[in-house]
Amino acid sequence: MKIIDTPDGRFPAAQDARPPVQTLSIRFTGSGSEYFRIWIVNLLLILVTFTLYWPFARARRIAYFQNNTLVGDDPLGFHANPWKMFRGYLLVAGLGLAYAIASEAAPLVGGVILLAFALLWPALWRASLQFRLRNTSWRGVRLAFEGDLKGAYLAYAPMVLPVLAFVAVGLVAAPGAPGEDVAPADRPLVGLLAIAAMLLFALALPWCFARLKQYQHGGYRFAGERTELRAGLREFFGLGLRSGGVLLLLMVVFGALAAGAVSMSRGVASGMVAVFGIAALAYIAVPLVLVPFVTARLQNLVWANTRSRNTRFRSELRFGALARVNLVNWLLIIVTLGLYWPFAQVRLARARLEAVSLQVKGSVNEWLSHAQARDVGALGDAAGDFFGIDMGL
């Protein structure tokens, strides 16, 4: 406490009511050569065991990336039991195998299995979040996910209408007999339904993203702090419009290039070759531009608006920097016939993680000491721990 001198004696000075804010940078210390050794061993064991080693490989991968992610100067920990992840893998793989067999032998049964999997998906997603967060720690304190089951299903609700529209298209367009085409009288209706389904999907996608991210980032808990996402539908629809604008611009540019190539060609054959070449270039360029644009904007939108009572995140991921990382990564992956993949994953993780920082009000040490005394986040929902499902979230 600061002491000041007055004519009448010494009195304590008035303290600032607002606690100081500490900014904890996030650094990634992994290297491509280290991860390459983990990756190549994982790949060989997955092939030898006919994919049964997949959950164990995933546990090793997550542990490596989290142990090399430093918040402040302290790494994240990962404490999951791979055998619990193996049970979750068997559950999902069993459903997938049952659907593959049934869809060939009895399409109706396959449809029922697919419907059951779709109905279970929000619950499995919630269990995955619970498992992943509960097995992650920082400075000895476990994280947790507290989103409820009802919220998980409501988060996916916006996708119901476009899915039903696509189902309607399939039912109307379904031929009456094998080899039979759509009846000429039904073709206008099928076309209108297909357009309506695509429009509904385009409108529902930003809405669904907003609901999913609000549920996900509104359920994180750490050291007594539960986060919330302060980004609404307007921000997500704005991102969707900007992304659509980038895609439209790319289509116009490559369309103009194709038209110019046709007009300058001396024959039909050379024109077709030029058009196919530009189409191939567009096929490569669109994801190299659109994917980093959406990734950077979405990360900044979500994490910059994730906060709790005493914490908030900042994200300043730049589109240009991420686009350069993606371009170099894919060029080197192609040149090395895929062997650069683990190095690319490390470079991408570093670019995305080091663009984020965490701001904390007050003393971090005092805050965490109280949390450790209360053992915050040590327990969780037993259902998620039983299945041990991790779906890469």
Q: pLDDT tens string for the chain (393 positions)? A: 444 455 555 545 445 567 788 999 999 999 999 999 999 999 999 999 999 999 999 999 999 999 999 999 999 999 999 998 898 888 888 888 888 888 888 878 887 888 888 888 999 899 999 999 999 999 989 999 999 999 999 999 988 877 777 777 666 666 554 445 656 666 677 777 778 778 888 888 899 999 999 999 999 999 889 999 999 999 999 999 999 999 999 999 998 888 888 788 777 777 788 888 888 888 888 889 999 999 999 999 999 999 999 899 999 999 999 999 999 999 999 999 999 999 999 999 999 999 999 999 888 887 777 766 655 433 334 444 545 555 544
> Computed over its alpha carbons, how large is the radius of gyration of the chain?
26
Per-domain boundaries in the chain: 19-147+363-393, 232-303
pLDDT value of position 144: 93
**Is 76 within 8 Å of 136 (Cβ atoms)?**
yes
pLDDT value of position 185: 63
Spatial separation of the C-alpha atoms in residues 256 and 53, rounded to whole Å: 49
Spatial separation of the C-alpha atoms in residues 76 and 64, rounded to whole Å: 10
User: Which three-class secondary structure state does DSSP give residue 78?
Assistant: strand
At 57, phi and psi to the nearest 5? -65, -40
Residues, the chain, total? 393
Angle between helices 341-353 and 32-48 (to 10 degrees): 130
pLDDT value of position 266: 72
pLDDT value of position 390: 59
pLDDT value of position 383: 42
Q: Note the Cα 140 to chain centre separation in Å.
A: 26
Q: Give the helix/strand (H/E) hosting 101.
A: helix 82-105
Spatial separation of the C-alpha atoms in residues 306 and 311, rounded to whole Å: 9
pLDDT value of position 171: 67
Identify the bridge partners of residue 21 per DSSP, sorted by sequence position: 361
pLDDT value of position 182: 59
Spatial separation of the C-alpha atoms in residues 380 and 221, rounded to whole Å: 11
What residue type is 317 in one-letter code?
Answer: L
**Is 78 within 8 Å of 135 (Cβ atoms)?**
yes
* Exposure letters 110-142 (e unless 16+ CB within 10 A, then b): beebbeeeeeeebbbbbbbbbbbbbbbbbbebb
pLDDT value of position 285: 86
